[in-house]
Amino acid sequence: MLDARAPEESAASEPSAPPEAGSARREAVRGQGRIFEVFRRERKGQPFQHAGSVTAPNERFAEIYAREQYGRRQESVALWLVPRGSVSEIDEFPDEFEMKYRRVDGYSIKARLHEARERAGTLGMAPGAAE
């Protein structure tokens, strides 16, 4: 099936090509307009979450389609529509120095706490001090 694709169709198979590769191409689905990413809020107070996407010739149609596909059954209290090309993605977070001092797993206080309690003579009072 894939082998039979015409060259211009295979362009659409690289929707995540970097923007410099041509964001217009990235957004377009041949013959159907633009791709809009849909974010939905399920209940008040909750964050918007990515739900999927719709293709539409313009924003007005995108709104109609998104409402129909993501809000028809009262499953959302609000929707955000964002043209795919307007989304900037960052997906690399190098951590060469393993800065563990910024994380809870960077600390091991068990031994030190034991020593401190011993010194203060409060070992018996501490929870779980039975050992």
Partner 1 sequence: MTDTRTKEFLEYVQAGGQVETGDWMPDEYRARLIKFIEMHGNSELMGVLPERDWILRAPTLQRKLALTAKIQDEVGHAQLIYRVVEDLGKPRSACLDDLVAGKAKFHNVFHYPTRTWGDVGVIAWLVDAAAIVSQKALLKCSYAPYARIMKKICWEESFHILHGRDVILALVTGTDEQFGLVQEALDRWWEPLMHFHGNPIPPDEDPMFVWRIKSQGNEDARQQFLDGYVPQIRELGLEIPDPALRKDEETGTWLYTEPDWEKLRAVVTGHGPASAERLAFRRLSREHVAWVERVVLAEAA
List residues bridging with 54 in a β-sheet.
36
| Residue 15 found at the interface with partner 1 (CB under 8 A) | yes
Select from 21, 46, 68, 122 the one that contacts partner 1 (CB under 8 A).
Answer: 68
Contact 55, 6 (CB under 8 A): no
Select from 22, 42, 55, 63 the one that contacts partner 1 (CB under 8 A).
Answer: 55
Q: Is the dihedral of CA 118, 120, 124, 130 positive or negative?
A: negative
| Residue 100 found at the interface with partner 1 (CB under 8 A) | no
In sequence order, what are the residues at sequence separation of 6 or more whose Cβ sits closer than 8 angstroms to the Cβ of residue 98?
A: none
Backbone phi, then psi, for 36, in 5-degree steps? Answer: -115, 130
Question: Whole-number minimum distance, CB 43 to partner 1, in Å?
Answer: 15
| Residue 57 found at the interface with partner 1 (CB under 8 A) | yes
| Residue 16 found at the interface with partner 1 (CB under 8 A) | yes
**Residue (32 or 122) nearer to partner 1, CB:** 32
Backbone phi, then psi, for 30, in 5-degree steps? Answer: -50, 125
Beta-strand ranges (E) seen in the chain are 28-29, 33-41, 49-56, 78-83
Q: Which stretch binds partner 1 (CB under 8 A): 47-55, 93-101, 103-111, 122-130?
A: 47-55
- Interacting residue ranges for partner 1, rule: CB under 8 A: 1-3, 5, 9-10, 12-17, 29-35, 51-55, 57-58, 61, 65, 68-69, 72-73, 75
